[in-house]
Amino acid sequence: MSIRSKPQAAQVLDESAPVIITGGAGFVGCNLAESFLREGRKVVVIDTLSRPGVEENLAWLREHHGELVHHLPADIREFEAICSVFQGAGAVFHLAAQTAVTTSIEDPLADFETNARGTVNVLEAVRAAGGRIPVIFASTNKVYGALDDLDMIELEDRYFPARPDIREYGIDEDRRLDFCTPYGCSKGVADQYVLDYAHSFDIPTAVLRMSCIYGPRQFGTEDQGWVAHFLIRALQGKPISIYGDGKQVRDILHVADAVAAYRAVLSSIATLNGETFNLGGGVRNAASLRMVLREISRITGQEPVVEWSDWRKGDQRYFVSDTRRLERKVGWTATIGWQDGLRELAAWLDEARGLRKLQRTERLTA
């Protein structure tokens, strides 16, 4: 098949076949896995459990769904270790990755091996399995670079774009790619390989370029999962590090909405084959770090302690996803407002991690 020819429609999805989720014990992965397990679907979780906290997510899945959960503790960097499990799969969600920009700068080779080579290994394992198994890939907004060319208007607590169309809708998928930092490069390479395998090898694929996802079962760190990290630090009464001026804006999306998007794309893969989508909370869920800190202070009843540091390399002053393509193609929309979602996450962290109890309800609106 010519690399420039149009991909054919995907095969009818076999809903009796297992779903494979690489990184399935991670935050997004375990929530996605649980959505299928609730329906009685078998799920294969490929995860080395190297990220702190994810073993709790796997235990949670097993506790609630027992033998429907199959865990393969293999590393996607090792093709032979993962190849055979893809035989007979109904769908593949590829979420396993090295996720921190800072880590990619410290060790670019390890970042490349996981994100770039690991993704090609997954694609080759699907190809070796025969059949046309759909592959949905978790990419990142970092493939668009730092967006330094966009003029920004600076307000007291946030930035917003000078261009009216971006202010109204956000960044769309036609934005030129500009891989920045080793992490952006490795994820960008993976992003493009996933799209190419639809054309070169007739494997039905789609790419979701994610903004900031948050919600229950997120064990955030300073380098990845910043929404949960901010809440954890605040609930523990520990200082929060802010790099830059805190006015940088992100569109944060609740994990339940993210799971709905992944599943909607899978359901429509026959018509979405080889396409990319930006996935985030959109303009309705855009908030600066300062705005999130202010909301956390309302939730906890006290002002978080903040330590300020210099900007980090490649940090975008503004990224808000234009999600109109996804909305138009599959009828998806974000349903959970970021303030409500933040309160839910704080309550879950308090219950799951034994953090300090939330303040009385009336203080939330004080």
Q: Which pLDDT does position 307 carry in this prediction?
A: 95
Instruction: Flag whether 235 is in a domain.
Output: yes
Question: Could you report the per-residue pLDDT of 24-33, keeping only the tens digit for each?
Answer: 999 999 999 9
Q: Edge to edge, what strands does the sheet with 275-279 contain?
A: 69-72, 43-46, 19-22, 91-94, 135-140, 205-210, 275-279
Q: How confident is the model at residue 14 (pLDDT cuts 50, 70, 90)?
A: confident
The Cα angle at residue 230 between residues 228 and 235, in degrees rounded to 5: 95
Distance of CA 104 to the CA centre of its chain: 17
DSSP readout, 122-142?
Answer: HHHHHHHT-S---EEEEEEGG
Q: Which pLDDT does position 52 carry in this prediction?
A: 84
Instruction: Flag whether 7 is in a domain.
Output: no
- The answer to whether residues 218 and 345 touch, using CB atoms and an 8 Å cutoff, is yes
Q: Which pLDDT does position 11 carry in this prediction?
A: 46
Domain with 119 in it: what CATH number?
3.40.50.720
Question: Could you report the per-residue pLDDT of 160-209, keeping only the tens digit for each?
Answer: 999 999 999 999 999 999 998 999 999 999 999 999 999 999 999 999 99
Q: For residue 318, what are the contacts with CB-CB under 8 A and spacing of at least 6?
A: 147, 150, 152, 159, 160, 161, 248, 249
Is the predicted pLDDT of residue 4 greater than 60, yes or no?
no
| Residues annotated as catalytic (active site), given as ranges | 183
Q: Which pLDDT does position 355 carry in this prediction?
A: 62
Question: Could you report the per-residue pLDDT of 339-360, keeping only the tens digit for each?
Answer: 999 999 999 998 876 665 444 3
Distance of CA 168 to the CA centre of its chain: 23
Question: Could you report the per-residue pLDDT of 51-108, keeping only the tens digit for each?
Answer: 888 999 999 999 999 999 999 999 999 999 999 999 999 999 999 999 888 899 999 9
Is the predicted pLDDT of residue 279 greater than 80, yes or no?
yes
Q: Which pLDDT does position 366 carry in this prediction?
A: 42
Q: Which pLDDT does position 363 carry in this prediction?
A: 40
Q: Which pLDDT does position 72 carry in this prediction?
A: 98
Instruction: Flag whether 6 is in a domain.
Output: no
Query: If you average pLDDT over residues 282-308, what whole number do you get?
Result: 96
Question: Could you report the per-residue pLDDT of 198-208, keeping only the tens digit for each?
Answer: 999 999 999 99
Is the predicted pLDDT of residue 130 greater than 80, yes or no?
yes
Question: Could you report the per-residue pLDDT of 303-331, keeping only the tens digit for each?
Answer: 999 999 999 888 999 999 999 999 999 99
Question: Could you report the per-residue pLDDT of 248-272, keeping only the tens digit for each?
Answer: 999 999 999 999 999 999 999 999 9
Q: What proportion of the chain, given as a percentage, has pLDDT over 90?
A: 84
Q: Which pLDDT does position 12 carry in this prediction?
A: 46
Instruction: Flag whether 163 is in a domain.
Output: yes
Instruction: Flag whether 234 is in a domain.
Output: yes
Is the predicted pLDDT of residue 6 greater than 80, yes or no?
no
Q: Domain range holding 312?
A: 19-360
Task: Write out the two tokens for 286.
Answer: 């855009």
Give the Cβ contact number of residue 349 at 10 Å: 24
Instruction: Flag whether 170 is in a domain.
Output: yes
Number of domains in the chain: 1
